[in-house]
Amino acid sequence: MSLESAERLIRAVGAVVGLGTLTYAVVEILRSLRRPSGREERGARFALRIPIILFATFLFIVIGALLWRPLPIGDRTWSAAIFLALGSLFFFGGLLLYLWGMRTLGAMFGPSTGFAVRLQAEHQLIVSGPYARVRHPMYLAVMATAIGSLLLYRTWATLLFAIGMFGLLVRARREEKVLEKEFGAIWQAYAARVPQWLPRLQRR
């Protein structure tokens, strides 16, 4: 199989898996919004409503479609091979980490934005699975997927997506403030033990 054929195949598979994961995530977000809410920031009741989530998803897809134009990057054989390898690793690895994180959260999974955070009623602090290694594995997964999509597809849409996803750093800080208010010393001990973004190397 030629490099060009492999690239077309991986891009096609990535599109199907990526859209499937997005659909699954939106469905789970809508389900979570039907559960009773616990501690929430002011503004969460407006920002985290089903019509708002659906509109944001629709806007994301429309902007992506309008900006799905190739970046002016000349692809040489060696650079295309590197983009394909690294892009596949970040993209599919990120999706797997995202799904792992969502499955680990279970009923505690729910949406938040850079403007509002909402916890579930009787929220429990999840410290197992990927949350035993980093405090924000799902956000880390989204950023990895965004970088992977940029390397794989190299369009203006994926460039905007990759840049925009670093706004999750702000969202993570807001979530941590709410979690600290909710769990107090338990959260502080967890945050002291588990790094925010990159797992620590295990010592023998």
Q: What is the pLDDT of residue 181?
A: 92
Sorted by where each starts, the structural domains of the chain and their CATH numbers stand as 3-193 (1.20.120.1630)
Please give the model's pTM, rounded to 2 decimal places. Answer: 0.90
pLDDT band at 74 (very low <50, low <70, confident <90, very high): low
Does pLDDT of 203 surpass 70? no
- 3-state DSSP call for residue 158? helix
Provide, rounded to the nearest whole percent, the portion of the chain with pLDDT above 90: 63
Q: E strands along the chain, which residues?
A: 37-40, 118-120
Amino acid, res. 132: A
Q: What is the pLDDT of residue 42?
A: 73
Does pLDDT of 44 surpass 90? no
pLDDT of 134-158, one tens digit each?
999 999 999 999 999 999 999 999 9
pLDDT of 80-113, one tens digit each?
888 999 999 999 999 999 999 999 999 899 888 7
Contacts of 200 (CB under 8 A, 6+ apart): none
Does pLDDT of 159 surpass 90? yes
